[in-house]
Structure 1
Amino acid sequence: MGIQDIIEGKRQWRAHVARVKALPPDYQIVYKEMQKYLFKVGPIDLVDGGLLPGIVDFFETGVADGKGVLELIGPDVAAFCDDLIKDSRTYADVYQESINVKPGTAEK
C-alpha cells in the first residue's frame, strides 16, 4: 500500500463521513450505533467492502422518501445488522475457529 492509496482511502472516508453528517439526526444516531456494532462483530472485509456506504445509500433513499429511520430498519438495530452480515465471515467466526483447534495441532 503506497502513500497514494492511503491518501485516497482517507479522501473516501472523509467523503463517507460527510454523507453521514448530512443525514437527519435520528439517522446519524442509528448509523453510528450500527457502525459500532459492525466494527465489533462485523465481517472481516467491512472496511474494504461496500457495506457502510451501502447503508448510507439506503438511509439517503429513506430520507428522500420521507420515512423515519426505524420505519426502514425496524426497532432492533442489532437484528438488522445481523441480517446484513448473515452470509459474511465475521471476527467472531475466526475467534470461534481458533478456540476449537486442539492444542499441538496445526490448522489446515
Structure 2
Amino acid sequence: MSIQDMIKGKKEWRAHVARVKALPQDYQFVYKEIQKYFFKVGPVELTEGMGLLSGIVDLFEEGAALGKGVLEVTGSDVAAFCDDLIKDSKTYADIYQESIDDAVNKSIKKVTDKKK
C-alpha cells in the first residue's frame, strides 16, 4: 500500500466519520454498536474499502431524513439485522475454521496413510 493510498483511505474514513456524526443521536449510537459487532464478528469485506459501513450510513441517512426512528430502520433486533447483512459474507472466523479443518484433515490423512 502506497502512502497515497493511505492518505486517501484516511480522508475517506474522516469523511465517513463526519457523516456518522451528522446523524441523530439514536442513529449514531446504533451505528457504533453495529460497528463494534462487525469488528468482533469480522466480515472480510469490512476491511475491503468501506462499502458495508457506508451502506449502513446511507440507509441511516435516508431513515433519518424520512423522520423514522433508528429501530424502525433496523428492527428491534439489531444483531439479527447485522447478521442478515453479512449472511452470505465470509468472515475471518470462517477462514480460521477452514484452516483448522484443513490441518486436521491433513494430519488424519498422514496417520491413515502410514497405517496402510
Q: Please report the TM-score for the alignment, with normalisation by the length of structure 1.
A: 0.91
What do the CA deviations read for 1:6-60 (whole angstroms, capped 9, x no partner)?
A: 0000000000000000001100000000000011113112122410000000000
Q: Which moved more, 1:53-62 or 1:70-79?
A: 70-79
The structure with the greater share of residues assigned to helix is 2
Q: For residue 7 of structure 1, what is the aligned residue in structure 2?
A: 7
SS in 1 for 2:23: coil
Whether the aligned pair in 2 keeps the contact of 1:42 and 1:85 (CA below 8 Å) is no
User: Which 4+ stretches in 1 moved above 3 angstroms?
Assistant: none
RMSD of aligned Cα (Å): 1.6
What is the identity, as a one-letter code, of the residue corresponding to 1:23?
A: L
Larger of the two Rg values belongs to structure: 2
Q: Please report the TM-score for the alignment, with normalisation by the length of structure 2.
A: 0.85
Q: For residue 79 of structure 1, what is the aligned residue in structure 2?
A: 80
Runs of at least 5 residues in structure 1 that lack an aligned partner in the other structure: none
What do the CA deviations read for 1:35-94 (whole angstroms, capped 9, x no partner)?
A: 000111131121224100000000000000000000111111111000000111011211
Runs of at least 5 residues in structure 2 that lack an aligned partner in the other structure: 108-116
User: What pairs with 1:28-67 in structure 2 (closer than 5 Å)?
Assistant: 28-49=28-49, 50-67=51-68
How far residue 103 of structure 1 moved from its aligned partner, in angstroms, is: 4.1
